[in-house]
Chains A and B, each alone.
Chain A
């Protein structure tokens, strides 16, 4: 909604003041500001000026004083009359009685006259015919001719808190010598409200700090004793608040509505919030917290008032329904549970409820709610129960009981024939009672259970048969997977109208958490900051792919509350970092903020990697930069953290670098999923990667990534894989996701994909021998040599194609030193030292170097010449603890301590 385009008209005679020279304005009749909207003329009839505000305050005090005086007189009157009566002084009693009666009437009249009239925001009308559109007004003369029903004084739909805030805004403007009451003054006044104070605390902003930042915007330069005026822009905000309340179906315009309008238009307030690291969207969501709470309170009140006329028993109000003793024994009464307030409230899901009601009103006898586990199918059913109790449902559901069938209780311990009897008996109860709406949760549990042998029926068949008779109103739920697998093709599936319950969007899930947070706060004696809820939804949405919103976010928030209670004690705030810690613990993904230690480690990634990888400067730099970008969360979040292609001859450190990345970035070499692509040389091997159709958990690639979403994916010898297999990785590298054989979407956005290949090795070696530069070789390789192996669009998906260079003799010595250090480490665990002379090392390097095989022969040489000799010494017990084994040119000897 664009507040500035609201067609408000401000009275020209009184300039929106509502009064001229102490009397009501003759042009607008005191209505001051108005607007035609929602079929009515809305106007503002409440004087907002210094005198009127002071008068209202005084008037309230004087009223209280009168009430107190009259009340005291009445109490003393009764006491005095009693005293005189017991003293037999009855001649005074008529006089006292007369006076007492007069004061009683004065008090009653006063109480009635001083009760302010509260109306509601105009309700939405969905079926408006042309004739129902009443007369409209675009000028004051037209407006004054309208009947009372065609107009509304919007101040009567404003909450007392909001009216008070508007008056406070005027006084704040006056105190700050501002010539106008602006949005800043309104916001400052709003922040004084205790509910907004709480909201600020949840945003981790001290109201005092915010007001301090706002102060420069409050101060004006008007001469002393100048009364601030309300400009058109401010009127638009006030009418805008009414519009927002209308759009949100709120019956009362409250503080949150005005705050929402102000934040949407006032850039200076947006900037202050930005400085406190609160975006406009975040503030809007936090405001919803306030709204959700008020809405829940109102819903509770509506439930209480609506349920007054409703009985708790089995029958309906007209007593036509029958008791259902058997059904009661195999099901639970959701309407009764709601009547007692045992069901959790529903937030959002208005569209789904509307669909369900529409389906039931259309004459269908069954609605099937289809959605993934955790999306809130059960909560929708609870919501229906709540609306049934409050009698806010279509006639088809009015004055009925919502009974949830317990399939396990129905079928347990029964023989085939008995089970069929039980189901029919329960359905018979429903048919006789006539006031039952049946809920069957997870209806797929009823399919595939055969009763008896031979030609006997399936439970689902019995249910389908009864459902088709039309006496039964049924709401069932199932998962998307079960629906596709077992229900869609069944007779039962055809009898139900499907209503899809999608996973909630992030903002609605935050609102659900806002509604649920109360419960966790009460249970664990902690407070949730808005950031914590926001992070719970964001991280669970990003990293927990086995569950769905809002359930997974609710679980995280619940655990975070307990975590804070155990770590820091009572009355502490649950912060975003606490939530991150829980998610990090669950997923092993470092989602917490980068600590100082970690930051230092990230800055010297190259040297850390060079501790294990010798040479290959380009590769190490490219990888280190990619890892830093990933940890600083600069990547798009829609692709893997990085996609690399490592090219080069064997034995130059390609796999070793991949292992190093797994160790350095993911914390463990084991966080690596390694696929030897030579095993996927035909088209059919795709199914080994993503799973056999319909069989869950059979994909080598998808299943491993699903279980370890934060890991390094190493595709060894990529050039050997079939071209169709490589096509799968096109999507992985581009979208960061892959659908497995059972339709689950596997997330690849937290993996680092590294493919290694020996393709073009001969060419590289030849060119190096000719002395061609590495850049030239790499270009020629990508543009010519690799074309036969990989398609250009495939190569294009890699963030970097790194050509590993053959190792020089000096580098080989370093590699030999690293390998020997590995042996020394193993020996040190036994308390034995190892010393290798430089000459021996050089000899080993020389013996182990083969340009065609890189450093692989070196490992064999070290095995033969060092490890074998040491093994001999150990087995012959020639070496003891604290001895040192010396490897020199002459051989392996022992240096005794």
Chain B
């Protein structure tokens, strides 16, 4: 019972402290975690979109059409594909960057909102 009470208060204290120090974690270990998550997502998306695969096969005729027109059309289609897939990748990177920015700006935004809120209330 004594052990139970002690550990429960210790758990509350630890997690309370953890909650209070969240801003510090947010900009230290949190950023490290964020970078890891962004990297993993970017790699997975690159694999999923197969940009590298399409780029590597840029001059390989599609569907075995190895005559000249087949090669030309294949190159065009592959080139367009690479471009669109790169655009897709870029868009996703923008989303990831946006997430990173939101992560970094989040606490500041909260502070600004609090400040504005208090000022409005006082006014």
| Chain A residues positioned under 8 Å from B95 (CB to CB) | none
B80 to chain A, nearest CB (A): 12
Q: Pick the contact of A433 from B11, B33, B64, B117 — CB < 8 Å?
A: B64
A102 within 8 A of B: yes
Known: A95-B114, A95-B120, A318-B54. A66 touches B19 (CB 8 A): yes
Interface pair B19/A59, CB less than 8 Å apart? no
B40 within 8 A of A: no
Interface pair A318/B113, CB less than 8 Å apart? no
| Closest B residue, CB atoms, query A112 | B33
Interface pair A105/B110, CB less than 8 Å apart? yes
Per the bound structure, the CA–CA distance linking A441 and B50 in Å amounts to 34
Known: A320-B63, A432-B64. A102 touches B120 (CB 8 A): no
Interface pair B48/A318, CB less than 8 Å apart? no
Per the bound structure, the CA–CA distance linking A309 and B50 in Å amounts to 8
Chain B residues numbered 23-58 whose CB sits less than 8 Å from any CB in chain A: 25-26, 30, 33, 47-48, 50, 53-54, 56-57
Per the bound structure, the CA–CA distance linking A66 and B26 in Å amounts to 18
Q: Pick the contact of A320 from B7, B57, B109 — CB < 8 Å?
A: B57
Q: Pick the contact of A59 from B15, B48, B56 — CB < 8 Å?
A: B15
A752 to chain B, nearest CB (A): 68
| Closest A residue, CB atoms, query B13 | A62
Chain B residues numbered 1-23 whose CB sits less than 8 Å from any CB in chain A: 3-4, 6-8, 10-12, 14-15, 18-19, 22
B116 within 8 A of A: yes
B83 within 8 A of A: no
Q: Pick the contact of B22 from A55, A106, A322 — CB < 8 Å?
A: A106
| Closest B residue, CB atoms, query A102 | B110
Interface pair B22/A105, CB less than 8 Å apart? yes
Per the bound structure, the CA–CA distance linking A95 and B116 in Å amounts to 7
Q: Pick the contact of B11 from A55, A105, A106 — CB < 8 Å?
A: A55
Per the bound structure, the CA–CA distance linking A318 and B14 in Å amounts to 53
Q: Pick the contact of A105 from B33, B60, B106 — CB < 8 Å?
A: B106
Q: Pick the contact of A51 from B7, B18, B53, B120 — CB < 8 Å?
A: B7
B89 within 8 A of A: no
Interface pair B25/A109, CB less than 8 Å apart? yes
- Write the A28-69 contact mask toward B (1 if CB under 8 angstroms, else 0): 000000000000000000000011001101110111001000
| Chain B residues positioned under 8 Å from A61 (CB to CB) | 8, 11
Known: A109-B25, A320-B64. A97 touches B113 (CB 8 A): yes
Interface pair A62/B117, CB less than 8 Å apart? no
Q: Pick the contact of A58 from B8, B48, B78 — CB < 8 Å?
A: B8
| Chain B residues positioned under 8 Å from A433 (CB to CB) | 64
| Closest B residue, CB atoms, query A432 | B64
Known: A101-B109, A113-B25, A308-B48. A318 touches B53 (CB 8 A): yes
A852 within 8 A of B: no
Interface pair B4/A98, CB less than 8 Å apart? no
Interface pair B19/A106, CB less than 8 Å apart? yes
A373 within 8 A of B: no
B68 within 8 A of A: no
Size class of the contact patch on chain B: 35 or more
Per the bound structure, the CA–CA distance linking A50 and B25 in Å amounts to 29
Chain A residues numbered 178-222 whose CB sits less than 8 Å from any CB in chain B: none
Q: Pick the contact of B8 from A62, A101, A308 — CB < 8 Å?
A: A62
| Chain A residues positioned under 8 Å from B18 (CB to CB) | 110, 113
Size class of the contact patch on chain A: 35 or more
| Chain A residues positioned under 8 Å from B53 (CB to CB) | 317-318
A430 to chain B, nearest CB (A): 12
B98 to chain A, nearest CB (A): 16
A92 within 8 A of B: yes
B9 to chain A, nearest CB (A): 9
A678 to chain B, nearest CB (A): 74
| Chain B residues positioned under 8 Å from A62 (CB to CB) | 8, 11-12, 15
| Closest B residue, CB atoms, query A105 | B106
Per the bound structure, the CA–CA distance linking A493 and B40 in Å amounts to 49
Known: A66-B15, A319-B62. A94 touches B50 (CB 8 A): no
Interface pair B116/A321, CB less than 8 Å apart? no
Interface pair B19/A51, CB less than 8 Å apart? no
Interface pair B22/A98, CB less than 8 Å apart? no
Known: A309-B50, A322-B63. A91 touches B120 (CB 8 A): yes
- Write the A695-719 contact mask toward B (1 if CB under 8 angstroms, else 0): 0000000000000000000000000
Per the bound structure, the CA–CA distance linking A323 and B115 in Å amounts to 64
Per the bound structure, the CA–CA distance linking A55 and B9 in Å amounts to 9
Q: Pick the contact of A94 from B12, B14, B56, B117 — CB < 8 Å?
A: B117
| Chain A residues positioned under 8 Å from B15 (CB to CB) | 59, 62-63, 66
Known: A99-B114, A101-B106. A54 touches B62 (CB 8 A): no
Per the bound structure, the CA–CA distance linking A483 and B115 in Å amounts to 85
Interface pair A98/B106, CB less than 8 Å apart? no
Chain A residues numbered 83-134 whose CB sits less than 8 Å from any CB in chain B: 91-99, 101-102, 104-106, 109-110, 112-113
Interface pair A58/B60, CB less than 8 Å apart? no
Interface pair A98/B110, CB less than 8 Å apart? yes
Interface pair A98/B117, CB less than 8 Å apart? yes
| Chain A residues positioned under 8 Å from B78 (CB to CB) | 319
Interface pair B114/A92, CB less than 8 Å apart? no
Interface pair A105/B26, CB less than 8 Å apart? yes
| Chain A residues positioned under 8 Å from B12 (CB to CB) | 62
Interface pair B117/A96, CB less than 8 Å apart? yes
Interface pair A97/B63, CB less than 8 Å apart? no
| Chain A residues positioned under 8 Å from B22 (CB to CB) | 105-106, 109-110
Per the bound structure, the CA–CA distance linking A54 and B1 in Å amounts to 11
Per the bound structure, the CA–CA distance linking A96 and B47 in Å amounts to 42
Per the bound structure, the CA–CA distance linking A106 and B111 in Å amounts to 14
B112 within 8 A of A: yes
Per the bound structure, the CA–CA distance linking A93 and B56 in Å amounts to 53
Interface pair B110/A54, CB less than 8 Å apart? no
Chain A residues numbered 280-333 whose CB sits less than 8 Å from any CB in chain B: 308-309, 315, 317-323
B76 to chain A, nearest CB (A): 13
A345 within 8 A of B: no
Per the bound structure, the CA–CA distance linking A554 and B63 in Å amounts to 44
Interface pair B118/A95, CB less than 8 Å apart? yes
Known: A110-B19, A320-B57. A50 touches B120 (CB 8 A): no
B57 to chain A, nearest CB (A): 4
Interface pair B8/A315, CB less than 8 Å apart? no
- Write the A605-647 contact mask toward B (1 if CB under 8 angstroms, else 0): 0000000000000000000000000000000000000000000
A434 within 8 A of B: yes
Interface pair B7/A321, CB less than 8 Å apart? no
Interface pair A50/B110, CB less than 8 Å apart? no
What 20 new A-B contacts, CB under 8 Å, besides A317-B53, A320-B61, A322-B64?
A: A51-B6, A55-B11, A58-B7, A59-B14, A61-B8, A91-B120, A94-B120, A95-B118, A95-B120, A95-B121, A101-B106, A105-B22, A105-B110, A110-B18, A318-B56, A319-B57, A319-B63, A319-B78, A322-B63, A433-B64
14 A-B residue pairings within 8 Å (CB atoms) = A59-B11, A61-B11, A62-B12, A95-B118, A96-B117, A98-B110, A98-B117, A101-B110, A105-B110, A109-B22, A318-B50, A321-B63, A323-B63, A433-B64
> Considering the complex of A and B, which 10 residue pairs feature the smallest CB-CB distances, nearest first?
A95-B117, A98-B113, A98-B114, A94-B117, A101-B110, A58-B11, A94-B116, A55-B7, A54-B7, A59-B11
Hey, which bits of chain B sit against chain A, CB under 8 A? Answer: 3-4, 6-8, 10-12, 14-15, 18-19, 22, 25-26, 30, 33, 47-48, 50, 53-54, 56-57, 60-64, 78, 106-107, 109-118, 120-121
